[in-house]
Amino acid sequence: MDEIDKLFEKVLESNIFKNREALRPDHVPDYLPHRESQIMKLASIIAPAIKGARPSNVFMYGKPGTGKTAVAKYVLRRLKDKVKDSVITAYINCREADTNYRVLADLCAAVNVYVPFTGLSTAEVLRRFINGLESEGCLMIAVLDEIDALVKKSGDAILYHLTRINERLVKARLSIIGITNDLRLMEYLDPRVKSSLSEEEVVFPPYTYEELKDILQSRAEEAFNPGVLEDGVIPLCAAIAAREHGDARKALDLLRIAGEIAERNGDAKVTEHHVRLAQRELERDHVVDVIKTLPLHARLILLGLYVLSKDGKSTVTTGELYGKYRELCSKIGADPLTQRRISDLIGELELLGIIDAKVISRGRYGRTRRITLAISNKSLKEGLLQSNIALRGFIE
DNA sequence: CGTCCACAGGAATGACGGGCGG
DNA sequence: CCGCCCGTCATTCCTGTGGACG
């Protein structure tokens, strides 16, 4: 029996999981502990939809992993159960659909209108969406998740149109549920958009350590077979996640990965040691995935940052990094982009959470960004190594 | 207390690739 | 198939800015 067969046997024989889907981030359970008040508030706002009336637009905010998406999906699911097909619902993640065009294209898909992924003007796509919705002739509730990513990248023009779309509709109606991680988003918005989008607001505070334990406990009962979790596992997952602004998604990921590691090893129980391993795997996987899909020049910037940090410079300025980037470009024979463009790419890397880039002023020595790595050197190295062979020579 | 650095970030513009209508 | 229009990404040019220096 070779290594692969052994692994398969172990997983096959393992009795760790009862239903691992219950721990996935997109799983919406039937019970959301410590979010009862947010659920009731959203439900009461949405309630008019049952009689076909248009609910107010809602704005929901809170840090990542505070249950915003889960609450929105849960309440919409309950609504759907009640009204069946007389209300159309759409869920759009604006981090994935991060241009005005793609958001509109997704909305079109929800009303069964096909649009090509490029080639049309946004105005045309908007027109098709309106026609599509009008011919459905009913209420639509659209969830725009991570709306901050959309606004930062593409502005609020589309939100302006969507909030005023009811003026152009005769039979149909549109309500918007906006979700954001970033409270400062409101400052960037056009006041007209701001007021119509936040007719109602629902706030999601971070989970406390105790609340995270409850959440993990209730999900663990769904996901694991009885008795496979050692006593310290849930508290440890909760403690790690509580340190990161009470992020329940992180806590659930930790628990799931820890279980999968135990499963692969053929262990009968999930222990705190598995959680520690999971913590490392989680960061590395995330970083590697993100870096692999980055365009070449963004990776060159990261490589530059890596090389500089090897030389003992843990924080660098835009200028220093740009110099190193140009040097690397000439070594691999790539045409360097201008500093203006690199400035934007640095902004994008920051949005992705790979680097921290804070704008600082150093008096007569100018304004710049103070750039530091937000991930471990090891993870970055791993990500760069896996992403492109041409870069390998520069990582020892 | 004004200057002035070293960029940030907005605006205009162009190359490119893709869809559409004829 | 063609000419046209569009979104995306990049460049060029520009104005704005916060605080240490003199």
One domain for residues A15 and A151? no
A211 and A200 inside one domain: no
Q: Please answer whether residues A234 and A217 qualify as being in contact, where contact means their C-beta atoms are separated by less than 8 angstroms.
A: yes
Q: Which of A178, A204, A230 is the last residue of a domain?
A: A204
CB A354 within 8 A of CB A375: yes
Q: Please, which positions of strand C sit below 7 A from a protein CB? A: 5-8, 10-14, 16-21
Within-domain flag for A29:
no
Helix extents (H) in A99-247: 100-110, 122-136, 147-154, 157-163, 185-188, 191-197, 209-223, 233-243
Look up tokens 């995330």; give the residue.
A286
- Kindly state whether residue A118 falls inside one of the protein's structural domains: yes
Q: Is residue A43 part of a domain?
A: yes
Give, in degrees to the nearest 5, the angle at Cα A355 between A353 and A356: 95
Domain co-membership, A217 together with A238: yes
Amino acid whose CA is nearest the C1' of C4 = A119
Q: Do A51 and A136 fall into the same domain?
A: yes
Our measurement of CA A266 to C1' B10, in angstroms, reads: 58
- Flag whether A15 is in a domain: yes
What residues are paired with A201 via a beta bridge?
A59
Same domain flag for A106 and A173? yes
Contact predicate A163/A57, CB 8 Å:
yes
pLDDT value of position A119: 76
In a domain, A169, yes or no: yes
Q: Which of A204, A220, A240 is the last residue of a domain?
A: A204
* Same domain flag for A230 and A169: no
Measured from the CB, is A169 under 7 Å from any atom of strand C?
no
A305 shares a domain with A216: no
A267 shares its domain with A131: no
pLDDT at A12: 79
Look up residue A250 and give its amino acid: K
- pLDDT attached to residue A395: 67
Burial A274-307 (b: 16+ CB within 10 A, else e): bbebbbebbebebbbebbeebeebbbbbbbbbbb
CATH label of the domain that carries residue A218: 1.10.8.60
Question: Containing domain of residue A390, as a range?
Answer: 289-394
> What is the distance between the alpha carbons of residues A52 and A31, in angstroms, rounded to a whole number?
27
pTM, two decimal places:
0.77
For residues A262 and A311, state if they share a domain. no
- Is A335's CB less than 7 Å from nucleic acid strand C? yes
Nearest nucleotide, CA A321 to C1': B7
Taking chain A, what is the end-to-end CA distance rounded to the nearest angstrom?
Answer: 36
A292 in contact with nucleic chain C (CB within 7 A): no
CA of A334 to C1' of C3 (A): 34
Is the distance from CB of A177 to CB of A57 less than 8 angstroms?
Answer: yes
Whether residue A180 is contained in a domain is answered as yes
- The number of angstroms, rounded, from the C-alpha of A91 to the middle of its chain's C-alpha atoms is 14
Residues A182 and A243 reside in one and the same domain? no
Pair A134, A228 in one domain: no
pLDDT at A235: 93
Q: At A307, which CATH number?
A: 1.10.10.10
Report if CB A317 to strand B is under 7 Å: yes
**Any atom of strand C under 7 A from CB of A340?**
yes
Burial pattern A225-255, b for ≥16 Cβ within 10 A else e, equals eeebbbeebbbbbbebbbeeebbbbbbbbbb
Host H or E run for residue A92: strand A87-93
Tell me the CATH number at A170. 3.40.50.300
Task: Please check whether residue A30 lies inside any domain of the structure.
Answer: no
Residue A31 tokens read as 């019970």
Whether residue A47 sits in one domain with residue A141: yes
Number of domains in chain A: 3
Q: What is the spatial distance, in angstroms and rounded to an integer, between the CA atom of A48 and the C1' atom of C11?
A: 51
Residues of chain A with pLDDT under 70: 1, 184-188, 388-393, 395-396
Q: What is the pLDDT of residue A351?
A: 81
DSSP string, A275-297: HHHHHHHHHHHHHHHHHHTS-HH
Q: pLDDT at position A187, please?
A: 60
